[in-house]
Structure 1
Amino acid sequence: MNTVKFSSLPLTPALLENIESLGYTQLTPIQAESLPPILDGKDVIAQAKTGSGKTACFGIGILSTLDLTNFRVQALVVCPTRELADQVCNEIRKLARFTQNIKVLALCGGTPARPQAESLGHGVHIVVGTPGRLQEHLRKRNLRLDNLKILVLDEADRMLDMGFEEAVSEVISYTPKQRQTLLFSATFADPIRELSRKFQSNPVTVSIEEGHHEDAIEQRFFQIEKNNRTNAMGYLLAYYRPESTVIFCNTKKDCHDVANGLERNGFSVQALHGDLEQKDRDQVLVRFANKSCSILVATDVAARGLDIKELQAVINFELPWDPEIYVHRIGRTGRAGNKGLALSLCTPQELPRVKAIEDYQKSSAQWDEVAPFKMTSEHQLNPPMVTLWIDGGRKDKVRPGDILGALTGEKGIAGSEVGKIDIFDNHAYVAIKRNSVDNALICLRSGKIKGRNFNVRKSQWG
């Protein structure tokens, strides 16, 4: 159990008093690991979820470096949404509430830019903003970062999900090379590590989640008769009701048959196999990754390189011959500290494959039973998101920030209702939470994106 106290850190008495007045005494695990290197001026990449205490980590780090006599921007926090930026501002203001003359400003879309520019003109110590609005103020030279000491990328994986990589890179291009850079993300997927390589210098890596462990995955085997495989799979989907599932098949034919069978019964499903053209593969992966499709049926070849966050379940429609492939399949769930579920159907003829898996993993298989079940449309799972298709993309100079701004402007929907944004050459896709789809369509159809009207509709495959 963590017993590190804030009083053990090299903080000023005023800042320590502020922290203790908020009722903070002991550090959370992420604070205990990341605050010492942050206070030491090192770059840090930290795996941290909402509610872990990460905002206090970089907030305390920022407040420890400020020169209050210099009313220039010394710290910049980049956030994916206006709501998160507001939360961060409030938290930093709370941490600084007994320290006079600290100026914290939020620069986000959905509110007029002119008053923000005026506030910048009066002098600000800390800016918290969203990528699109920060770009706008930097290009107009309202915001200058020559005196920046510390840069924070908060919920970096969410920013990449929303398509803000180019915007974030442009914002960082305005910052001094000599700076401290802190990167917080719920996952350490390859795109996040690439972001760190580009913009950080010898960062200290902090991951409270101990990474991917076999005990993070609940493995269950179900012995069935060969002619009952499809209904048994339907039973597993209906009983466990995972929000996102990859079903692995050994052949393209099974892949087609399983996907078609699930689709006939009203399930939200896509097939991923080697015969798909790149355009179709892109669409399938967009829809599954943005959670507007619940089930992906795939062959091992097609699933190479597949990295889906928060995948709740893997189902082996048929066990592979090679136990190493089995371990690779199930390793796609139970990542980044999440619990995963691996469910495998097995006929009597496949029992030697289970024995090979037991030998490989050096542990006994856990067996369970499938109840009598007939798959019908009443067992379907509605995915949490719906994909909207927009008839404009990179060639029309449409950026993720333009789409987000059109959705979240005056009388728009909350940024938290917007999911992954994917921009292609001639079109774009944006995922919207199911209960906000109608309002999102009204926003995009009645407003303008990039000063233009684009056709917008629910995706024909979403």
Structure 2
Amino acid sequence: MSSESTFKRRRLSPPPAQPTYSLDDEDDAPAYVPVKKRREALLTKLASKHVGGAQIADQQRLEEEAEREEREREEKEGKKQRTAQTLLQEAQEVKRLKAIADAAKTDADRKREEEEKILAAQSAGQKALAGAEELAKGIVYTERLTTSWRPPAYIRDRTEEENDKIREKFHILTAGDDVPPPIPDFRDMKLPKPLLDHLKNKKIMAPTPIQLQGLPVAFSGRDMIGIAFTGSGKTLAFSLPLLMFALEEEKRIPFVQGEGPVGIIVCPSRELARQTYDGLVEMGKLMEQAGYPSVRTLLCIGGINMAEQSQIMSRGFHMVVATPGRLQDMLEKRKFGLTGCKYLCLDEADRMIDMGFEEDVRNIMSFFKHQRQTLLFSATMPKRIQDFAQQALVQPIVVNVGRAGAASMDIIQEVEYVKQEAKMVYLLECLQKTAPPTIIFSDNKNEVDDIQEYLLLKGVEAVAIHGSKTQEEREYAIKAFKTGKKDVMVASGVASKGLDFSEIQHVINFTMPKEIEDYVHQIGRTGRSGKTGIATTFVNMQTAEQTLLDLKYLLMEAKQKIPPFLASIEDPNAGSGNLGCTNCGGLGHSIANCPKLEENQRRTVAGHMGGRDTGGY
């Protein structure tokens, strides 16, 4: 029996074609479609969604939807690419971009960044210049103080453009809100007639630039930073307002025992405090003789017996002139308080901070019970000190006459190369340049005594003053020199800060100071109040090249003659955009190699080890 099997025939499909690979193609890469075609396809897709293939009602809306979907797609693709990268790749990319940015920087940019870091590190450790209670409680004054003083109506009506023209005429720069108008006449400042006569007798016919703008600011009750070259009349700019405020308070309600003061002036040295005190006492007596109320001034400096001041304290007093150390001591012993004190002036403010009195000033501020008007004055106040000081001020006004740290244009500066062993002999020749009086500066106390002894042996009438002498010896030297009994004063830096000696013809720097600021202060003892003077400075191989470079730039700024040996010194920072040191204002170096910064660090270390500079006590 045979069986028959039925088989179904099926068509065999050909094997799938093998893909062809090319080294030029990317794996699984889709064909590129231009953006325009993708958008047209997307529009067609969106249009087809409408019922019955109706026409697109709002073409603009569809285009916006198409663009949005396109952006979302691109973002998703970009995200996929980013997630595909490892963290190591991202770090390498960041490093690569940073390297490119660093390579694009110039040397000047890198130096500027380095200086900013150093300056920030200097400021980081500083506490605000305010009292301990104010810092602890977070007390911040926001409203400025007001006074009863107003400028004349015609001055108030001047436009700001007219005020700016006056400031431009006298080279006055101001910063701050609502700056009071400058007043070029003492009469328009509403000063009493006895004071006008007193100024006239001293041959002060018109206010100097710092007085022209500074006095209206101070009379208005505004906080202020005053910067002007030496011999420009800064002392009068802060003494007159305090005297007028004291007279006003005494006339309103007479002071009795235990009351006072109205205001305080703090100075870095005893001699400067004594000079300021004498000026206030003289003006106060003239006002009393003219029938005005009697105002009393207390002097608080080291080296004098405060029992001598007890009579003034027993009657109540209006003004205090002091050095930081002694004033702090009197306040801590509760000899008097600052409950009613509304006026605080720091003369040579930057020098005080540099000399190590910053903590003393902060402690003094702790004794104030209410807001006060604060004024800071100096000839050399670099921006670092200005920024730091403004923390203690309320809406301050900065009044700047010339560059901070610049020398007076009325001084003829002569720099001479003299070997160390030849200085004494050449000193006698230099004294022949002008008639006396003359001041000779040296930064070494022993050298000061040696110079005085040598001059006395040569028949020159000379006195000496430095920090190691007693207060009686210091006061005798200054009095003898001021009255003309002695022709020459040999001094250390203690006599360079603000002291006003009339008719000084010649200043000799026997030793060039290490810091250019000290040089500016020392030569500033001559060429004061518009008069001309000569400053001769000895330099040699022992003078640091960096100091000589600062001196060179200072002479160039003042348009002085530059000797060949000084002109030959090359500036390593030339062409790098260096604009001087932001720490001390020197023009020949940057903050990275600032001698003052090194000295401050040395002083800080000495303070931690128990040492303390009490030169102004």
Mapped contact 1:18–1:96 kept (Cα < 8 A): no
Q: Does 1:75 align with 2:255?
A: no
Larger Rg: 2
Match of 1:91 among 279, 285, 294: 279
2:9 alignment partner in structure 1: none
Q: Does 1:175 align with 2:368?
A: yes
Match of 2:607 among 384, 388, 394: 394
Amino acid at match of 1:185: S
Q: Structure 1, residues 350-394: CA drift from partner, whole Å, max 9, x if none?
A: xxxxxxxxxxxxxxxxxxxxxxxxxxxxxxxxxxxxxxx99x943
Distance 1:61 1:24, change over 3 A: same
Distance 1:187 1:176, change over 3 A: farther
Between 188-197 and 95-104, report the one with greater CA deviation.
188-197
1:233 alignment partner in structure 2: none
Q: Structure 1, residues 417-459: CA drift from partner, whole Å, max 9, x if none?
A: xxxxxxxxxxxxxxxxxxxxxxxxxxxxxxxxxxxxxxxxxxx
Distance 2:223 2:549 in 1: 27
Mapped contact 1:18–1:97 kept (Cα < 8 A): no
**How far apart are 1:15 and its partner, in Å?**
3.9
Could you say what secondary structure the match of 2:207 adopts? coil
Distance 1:88 1:317 in 2: 41
Match of 2:551 among 296, 306, 312: 312
1:188 alignment partner in structure 2: 381
Q: Structure 1, residues 397-435: CA drift from partner, whole Å, max 9, x if none?
A: 44322x555xxxxxxxxxxxxxxxxxxxxxxxxxxxxxx
Distance 1:85 1:309 in 2: 32
1:437 alignment partner in structure 2: none
**How far apart are 1:14 and its partner, in Å?**
4.6
**How far apart are 1:38 and its partner, in Å?**
0.9
Matched residue pairs, number? 275
Distance 1:316 1:168 in 2: 44
Match of 1:164 among 357, 362, 366: 357
Amino acid at match of 1:8: D
Mapped contact 2:268–2:323 kept (Cα < 8 A): yes
Distance 1:294 1:317 in 2: 13
Amino acid at match of 2:580: G
Distance 1:294 1:20, change over 3 A: same
Distance 1:331 1:208 in 2: 19
1:246 alignment partner in structure 2: none
Distance 1:48 1:317 in 2: 29
Amino acid at match of 1:313: K
Amino acid at match of 2:552: A
Distance 1:115 1:194, change over 3 A: farther
Q: Does 1:202 align with 2:395?
A: yes
**How far apart are 1:126 and its partner, in Å?**
0.6
Distance 2:323 2:372 in 1: 20
**How far apart are 1:113 and its partner, in Å?**
3.4
Distance 1:288 1:12, change over 3 A: closer
Q: Structure 1, residues 54-76: CA drift from partner, whole Å, max 9, x if none?
A: 11111111122121223510010
Could you say what secondary structure the match of 1:73 adopts? coil
Mapped contact 2:323–2:616 kept (Cα < 8 A): no
Q: Structure 1, residues 317-351: CA drift from partner, whole Å, max 9, x if none?
A: 6676x9641x41x7359x97x9x789xxxxxxxxx
Distance 1:45 1:115, change over 3 A: same
**How far apart are 1:117 and its partner, in Å?**
5.1
1:154 alignment partner in structure 2: 347
Match of 2:227 among 27, 47, 50: 47
Amino acid at match of 1:128: V
Q: Does 1:33 align with 2:201?
A: no
1:331 alignment partner in structure 2: 580
Could you say what secondary structure the match of 2:295 adopts? coil
Distance 2:328 2:300 in 1: 10
Distance 1:128 1:59 in 2: 10
Amino acid at match of 1:62: L
Distance 1:4 1:148 in 2: 30
Could you say what secondary structure the match of 1:183 adopts? strand
Q: Structure 1, residues 28-58: CA drift from partner, whole Å, max 9, x if none?
A: 1110011111111111100134421111111
Cα RMSD over matched residues?
4.0
Mapped contact 1:117–1:142 kept (Cα < 8 A): no
Distance 1:311 1:121, change over 3 A: farther
Q: Structure 1, residues 236-273: CA drift from partner, whole Å, max 9, x if none?
A: 9959x9xxxxxxxxxxxxxxxxxxxxxxxxxxxxxxxx
Could you say what secondary structure the match of 2:286 adopts? coil
In proportion to residue count, which structure has more helix? 2
Distance 2:203 2:607 in 1: 49
**How far apart are 1:165 and its partner, in Å?**
0.9
1:414 alignment partner in structure 2: none
1:223 alignment partner in structure 2: none
Mapped contact 2:296–2:319 kept (Cα < 8 A): yes
Distance 1:90 1:319, change over 3 A: closer
Distance 1:79 1:396 in 2: 26
Mapped contact 1:288–1:296 kept (Cα < 8 A): no
Percent identical residues: 30
Distance 2:282 2:300 in 1: 18
**How far apart are 1:141 and its partner, in Å?**
0.6
Distance 1:148 1:238, change over 3 A: same
Segments of 5+ residues of structure 2 without an aligned counterpart are 1-168, 171-182, 289-293, 410-414, 421-512, 520-538, 554-566, 590-601
